[in-house]
Structures are given as structure tokens and as C-alpha cells.
Structure 1
């Protein structure tokens, strides 16, 4: 949680929107994963899924945030080449 919610060294103004989108996507994917787990996994395997669920939200959030940050940097780089 400390890694996921800490500021970047060079925080830019567009990062707030990227963080919000990453949070939304992480909640959606994590909830879908948990619903599918409730439907299809039984017994001790389900307990392992619940333990993993404690960490998957943060991992998904970080993946979505850094991919969004890379996408934004790539778009800014392409835009600066045009100008």
C-alpha cells in the first residue's frame, strides 16, 4: 500500500487522472476475479484465493498505473515530434 499510494519523484499534473483510471480498472478486474472465484473455486483453494486477493488489488493498480504512465509518456513524445 505504501508503494502504491506514494508520490512519484517527478510528479506531473496528469498523474491524478492516470491514478484514478488505474484505481477504477484495478477494482473492476479484482472484483470480477473474486466473483469468478466464488462461483468456480471451492474448499481450501478458495481460501488461497482470498489471501491472494489481499495483494492482487495493489499489484493490479501498480500495473495499470505504470502502463498508463508509459502510454502518456509515449503520447507526449509522439506529440512533441509532430510539433
Structure 2
């Protein structure tokens, strides 16, 4: 049962980190201040201890998720490389 609990803690901490990164990207522009606030919130959530030994994944996931999503180009409707609108 311990391995199942450990897996759920890991998944939960990754989901929380991804949600924090998504919140930064959706509700504000990514810069040093917003990323620092999101990592700080993630560290505070991790300090509560709800996610067991895998709680350190929360702030790390915020950093990596934000940096990956910020550098991934999003297609636009005027993008000529899209053959049709149904490709979205």
C-alpha cells in the first residue's frame, strides 16, 4: 500500500505544480516576479506536508512547466502552415 500512496503523492504534487504554472501563464505574463510568486506559493503548499516525501516536486514543476510553456509557440488562425481550421 505504501507504493500506491507514494505514487498518488507524486501525481498530486505534479498536478498542483502544473496547475500553478498554468495559472501564471493564463492570468498574468510570465516574468521573474510572477514566477517567483508561483514558486513561493508552491513551496508553501509543499511545506504543509500533504504530499509526503514528494512535495519538493511542486515548486520544481512550476519552474519547468512555466519555462516550457512560455517557449512553446502557439498556433494562430493566421498561421499559414495550418492547412485548415479543423487541424486545431
What TM-score comes out, normalization by structure 2 length? Answer: 0.35
Where is the helix percentage greater, Structure 1 or Structure 2?
Answer: 1
- The structure with higher relative contact order (CA 8 Å, sep 6+) is 1
What TM-score comes out, normalization by structure 1 length? Answer: 0.36
